[in-house]
Every structure is written in C-alpha cells, then in structure tokens.
Amino acid sequence: MHQEIQDISSRNIISDVGVGVQCLKAALNSAYLNVLINLYSISDEIYVAEQKEKAEKLVEEGCLAADEVYNKVLKTMSMN
C-alpha cells in the first residue's frame, strides 16, 4: 500500500509516507519479537521451527519492501 501511495503522492507529503513505512517496519520487528517470546512456551519443536521460519520470512520480506519504499521516498525528496 505504501508503495502505491508513494508513487502517486505529492512531494509536499512524501515525508509522511517515509515515516509511515518506518512505523510499519517497527511494527513488523515488534511482532516478530512477540512471536519469538511466545514460541518459547511451546514444547512441539517441529511446530516451533516451522512458525519461526514463517515469521522470519515475513519479517525479511516486509523489511525489504519497507526499505524499498523508504529509498524511493529519499530519492523523491532529494529531487525537490
């Protein structure tokens, strides 16, 4: 969503897109920490490993997307 907004937003509000995407990245990392702490209480090692792998993948993909949008924001702002 932020990628779409960044592509069509005014240069006057582009920094808001950058702030928003950084908040999303912080939320992803915070959610991952919550997943990890809760996985410690589960004794099924196979399930824990599967869920940890899924969570790691989601965080990695989300952070890469957030960084891509953030870099577009920086590029757009440097054009002003």
Each of the 80 residues of the chain gets a pLDDT tens digit; together they read: 555 665 656 777 888 889 999 999 999 999 999 999 999 999 999 999 999 999 999 999 999 999 999 998 888 888 75
Question: Would you say the pTM of this structure is higher than 0.85?
Answer: no
Whole-angstrom distance, CA of residue 54 vs CA of residue 56: 5
Give the long-range contacts of residues 3-9, CB within 8 A, separation 24 or more. Answer: 3/65, 3/68, 3/69, 3/72, 6/69, 6/72, 6/73, 6/76, 7/72
